[in-house]
């Protein structure tokens, strides 16, 4: 697929290429020698799909470690370092991001900035209980100070969001408490976890089949609740979780309050936003096939009455609404992998949810569903995995009828499902295809194509992944101007597992903006995004 760039776009592309070269130089100034600790052959642990940083001690059964779409088993965890009875572990992620956002008549939509997240944990594993305490340290540097415009153009990419979220500061650093919890084992037939922890809906039960585990971690988990792993700071939750098994069925109950973080460097404090979650996950095994069914319910309470809600009502009506948001989400998903002796593996996914409750002064009624199918042909050279799917999130067609009908995605990790995250599931239809190739045990390549449009032309173009600071709603919206066609998106990524504990990821995306984008960004409706990332575990 090719396209011809106008002169100004060619200049901006050259800046992206230059930034990529600079990023390569910076990234490999890291102590790559540390990556040579293991000569054992390993599988590529994907950073292509956002993922929680690995925690070798006191993990929960629901730990969501996203893997590249591959039928291979996950990469092993690094060996635990011990000081007496204590276990020490950590991870260090460095990323350089280059944004070439849709261009308005003014403002800086082309810039590069780096950020780093260091996580160090100490814990102990016992027969009756585990405990873990983990600190995070983040740097977010060289943020653009001229990439924010008045509505409707708003923030020109994530660099502008980081800048605004940190008090209009270009360089930011902070140390914060990432996790601190204790897990009691053998509580009847279950386990109880209390404290500050990360939570990932949909990943409560990890199956034995590696393809099915990959689908759960990359196509099911964190659609509604996640740690926003791709962001510089991420999020955690303060609360409790209870898990128990009955005849192979996993029952999970959780209740927690979200912490600050994501784009804001200070992630120590809570936000008065709560979720309550319950699920029953049932494994399905028939012959050479394996599947999983999950039924779930999710309650969301936003107690903040002074924060302006993001929806398609006039600004005066939104400013006058000081009621809480109280939403219940009820849904299920079913996925299955079928193995054949000659044609390879086939799989399908169905996910759906209904919502009810109150959106401040409005009655809330919304829905969403996803359907996907995939095929892994028996090709030994590239080990391809082809996938196609369709995602739907309802929109609101009437801003004066007293009913809010835009699907609310709650507290997800949006980048798993929108790798160039200028959209999410809210008022969105996404028809897509994906191809993953594995030419080497240490290399994985993935490319996607998405055709995106708004579900309802009377609603907004929504961005974001949920609340992350007390004074911000967490989602932003831009007007559709009566249009539905949003963009076409193509991207490609490569993951190299240099060693068991060190990996490198490169990602590039190009978006062809359509009528919704063109009405807001008349100078250039196309956009590029590139990043280079290293991950070191120790």
Is 50 exceeded by the pLDDT of residue 69? no
* 191 belongs to a structural domain: yes
The mean pLDDT value of the chain amounts to 88
Which structural domain range is residue 80 located in?
A: 7-537
For the chain, percent of residues with pLDDT exceeding 90: 82
Q: Which residue has 């991207």 as its token pair?
A: 491
* 93 belongs to a structural domain: yes
Select the more confidently predicted residue: 436 or 78. Answer: 436
Select the more confidently predicted residue: 527 or 80. Answer: 527
What whole-number distance in Å separates Cα of residue 319 and Cα of residue 475?
Answer: 16
pLDDT, tens digit, 9 for 90 and up, residues 486-501: 999 999 999 999 999 9
Residue 237 burial (10 A CB sphere; 0-12, 13-18, 19+): buried
pLDDT score at 287: 85
Give me the mean pLDDT over the 106-124 stretch.
Answer: 97
Query: Which range (75-84, 231-240, 290-299) has the least confidence?
Result: 75-84
Looking up residue 140, the CATH number of its domain turns out to be: 2.40.160.100
What whole-number distance in Å separates Cα of residue 301 and Cα of residue 303?
Answer: 6
Q: Are strands 362-376 and 403-404 parallel, antiparallel or unpaired?
A: parallel
Q: Where are the alpha helices (DSSP H) in 272-368?
A: 315-319
pLDDT score at 84: 85
- Count how many residues are written for the chain: 538
* 68 belongs to a structural domain: yes
Nearest partner of 147 among 137, 167, 129, 162, judged by Cα? 162
Is 50 exceeded by the pLDDT of residue 337? yes
What whole-number distance in Å separates Cα of residue 407 and Cα of residue 460?
Answer: 12
pLDDT score at 26: 40
In sequence order, the 6+-apart residues with CB closer than 8 A to the CB of 395 are 405, 406, 407, 426, 427, 428, 454, 455, 456, 458, 459
pTM recorded for the entire structure: 0.87
pLDDT, tens digit, 9 for 90 and up, residues 147-157: 999 999 999 99
In sequence order, the 6+-apart residues with CB closer than 8 A to the CB of 287 are none
Number of domains in the chain: 1
For the chain, percent of residues with pLDDT exceeding 70: 85
Helix (H) / strand (E) containing 214: helix 210-215
* 2 belongs to a structural domain: no
In sequence order, the 6+-apart residues with CB closer than 8 A to the CB of 190 are 242, 243, 244, 245, 251
Is 90 exceeded by the pLDDT of residue 87? yes
Identify whether the C-beta of residue 165 lies closer than 8 Å to the C-beta of residue 138: no
* 161 belongs to a structural domain: yes
pLDDT, tens digit, 9 for 90 and up, residues 369-383: 999 999 999 998 999
Count the Cβ atoms, other than its own, within 10 Å of residue 83: 8
pLDDT score at 79: 58
Give me the mean pLDDT over the 147-169 stretch.
Answer: 97
pLDDT score at 80: 66
Nearest partner of 216 among 74, 102, 67, 379, judged by Cα? 67
Q: Which residue has 């500061």 as its token pair?
A: 169
């Amino acid at each position: 697929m090719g396209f011809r760039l106008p002169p100004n776009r060619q200049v901006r592309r050259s800046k992206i290429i230059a930034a990529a070269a600079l990023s390569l130089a910076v990234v490999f100034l890291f102590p790559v020698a540390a990556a040579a600790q293991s000569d054992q052959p390993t599988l590529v642990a994907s950073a292509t799909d956002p993922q929680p940083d690995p925690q070798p001690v006191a993990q929960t059964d629901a730990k969501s470690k996203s893997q590249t779409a591959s039928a291979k088993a996950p990469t092993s965890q690094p060996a635990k370092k011990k000081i007496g009875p204590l276990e020490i572990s950590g991870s260090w992620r460095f990323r350089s991001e280059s944004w070439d956002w849709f261009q308005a008549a003014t403002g800086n939509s082309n810039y590069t900035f780096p950020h780093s997240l260091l996580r160090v944990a100490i814990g102990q594993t016992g027969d009756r209980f585990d405990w873990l305490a983990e600190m995070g340290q983040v740097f977010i540097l060289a943020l653009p100070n001229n990439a924010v415009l008045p509505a409707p153009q708003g923030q020109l990419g994530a660099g502008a969001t980081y800048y605004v979220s940190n008090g209009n500061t270009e360089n930011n650093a902070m140390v914060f408490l990432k996790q601190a919890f204790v897990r009691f084992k053998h509580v009847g037939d279950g386990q109880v976890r209390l404290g500050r922890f990360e939570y990932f809906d949909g990943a409560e039960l990890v199956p034995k089949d590696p393809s099915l585990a990959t689908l759960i971690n990359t196509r099911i988990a964190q659609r509604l609740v996640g740690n926003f792993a791709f962001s510089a700071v991420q999020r955690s939750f303060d609360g409790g979780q209870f898990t128990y098994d009955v005849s192979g069925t996993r029952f999970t109950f959780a209740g927690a309050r979200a912490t600050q973080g994501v784009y804001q460097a200070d992630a120590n404090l809570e936000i008065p936003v709560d979720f309550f979650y319950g699920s029953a996950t049932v494994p399905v095994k028939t012959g050479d096939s394996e599947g999983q069914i999950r039924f779930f319910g999710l309650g969301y309470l936003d107690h903040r009455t002074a924060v302006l809600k993001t929806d398609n009502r006039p600004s005066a009506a939104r400013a006058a609404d000081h009621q809480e948001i109280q939403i219940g989400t009820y849904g299920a998903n079913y996925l299955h992998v079928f193995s054949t002796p000659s044609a390879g593996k086939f799989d399908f996914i169905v996910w759906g949810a209904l919502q009810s409750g109150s959106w401040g002064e409005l009655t809330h009624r919304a829905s969403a569903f996803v359907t996907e199918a995939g095929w892994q042909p028996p090709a030994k050279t590239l080990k391809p995995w082809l996938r196609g799917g369709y995602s739907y999130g309802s929109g609101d067609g009437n801003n004066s009828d007293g009913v809010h009908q835009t699907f609310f995605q709650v507290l997800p990790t949006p980048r798993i499902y929108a790798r160039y995250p200028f959209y999410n599931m809210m008022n969105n239809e996404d028809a897509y295809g994906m191809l993953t190739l594995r030419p080497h045990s240490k290399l994985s390549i993935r490319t996607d194509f998405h055709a995106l449009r708004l579900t309802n032309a009377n609603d907004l173009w929504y961005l974001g992944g949920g609340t992350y600071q007390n004074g911000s709603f967490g989602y932003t919206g831009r007007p559709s101007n009566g249009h539905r066609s949003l963009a076409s998106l193509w991207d490609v990524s490569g993951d190299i597992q240099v060693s068991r504990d060190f990996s490198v990821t490169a990602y590039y995306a190009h978006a062809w903006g359509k009528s919704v984008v063109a009405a807001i960004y008349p100078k250039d409706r196309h956009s590029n995004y590139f990043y280079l990332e290293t991950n070191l575990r120790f």
